[in-house]
Amino acid sequence: MNPESGPEAAFGARLRSSREAQGWTQEHLADLMGYSSQHISAMETGRKPPTLRSSLSADAVFGRAGTPESFERAYRELKSGSLLEGFPEYVGFEAQAEEVRLFEVGLIPGPLQTREYAAAIEAGHVHRGTITAEQADERIDVLMERQAALARSLPPLLFVVLDESCIRRLVGGPEVMDEQLRRLLDFAALSNTALQIAPYSMGERRPFNRSVNLLTLTDRSVVAYVESQTQGYLDREITSVLPLVRSYHQLQTEALSQAQTVTMIKQARKGIP
């Protein structure tokens, strides 16, 4: 196998060389990572692309988590061609965060999207020519893996505030939108989540005009990720992150309660044509 034949093949070559350096068989590595030996073989030969889960599992087995040589980092570099700058690194932090705080305008945030809703959004990008169909598929794959990482055995606390436009904007047609709103209601019922809507009536009291993501890590430090239409920016500087945290707390105070939010979403479902 030639590692230069593609990024998946290069990833597989690294996995194989790491395994062989330990003197392990594919069967033994499969047992350690929680996969079948056929799956490991397909990854090593580049026939099966890596996922976030398999990359994190490999890092745990080989002791590379958080290092420059981590499989997770290689995976994110492989996927980053279709993503905004800073986002792959953000997703890495998100998968390990203890608390996640999201605010979104216009669209349901990724962790709460159904696959069909996400596919409709990406289809719009493809139609406008801003990304290719292949990149759209990659984005959806990354999103599904991102959601899986947040649904881990010890999930983070998830605080989400949606601008009212998120539930009013019809995406993907009536059936897709109805299912998406139902997903929001299911999310609100979870024990580790809080869902609020910032209604139009907040007017100028709404502190953010674009999406904001805030992560509280295990050491209690906070990472911020702010995204525009064409660029993403990851920030860990306390002087710039702290004002965002304060504004988010103000937003939560001004937004509808979760009970009021659930009522508004149910009413929105009834109004879908």
Domain 3-81 matches domain 90-270 at the CATH topology level: no
Domain 90-270 class, CATH top level: alpha beta
Across the range 192-221, mean pLDDT stands at 96
Token readout for 100 is 């996640």
Share of the chain above pLDDT 90, in %: 66
pTM of the predicted model, to two decimals? 0.72
223 has pLDDT over 80: yes
What are the boundaries of each domain within the chain?
3-81, 90-270
CA quadruple 92, 96, 99, 100: dihedral, nearest 10 = 20
Confidence of residue 5 (pLDDT cuts 50, 70, 90): low
Higher local confidence (pLDDT), 226 or 180: 180
Residue 234 binned pLDDT confidence (cut-offs 50, 70, 90): confident
Burial of 21 by CB count in 10 Å (0-12 exposed, 13-18 middle, 19+ buried)? exposed
The CA distance from 67 to 54, in Å, is: 16
Q: What is the mean pLDDT of residues 186-213?
A: 96
Distance CA 138, CA 147 (A): 14
- CATH number for region 3-81: 1.10.260.40
Greatest mean pLDDT among 6-20, 73-87, 243-257: 243-257
- Mean of pLDDT values over 179-205: 98
180: Cβ–Cβ under 8 A, 6 or more apart, which residues? 108, 113, 114, 116, 117, 171, 172
pLDDT single digits (tens) 16-67: 999 999 999 999 999 999 999 999 999 999 888 888 888 889 999 999 987 8
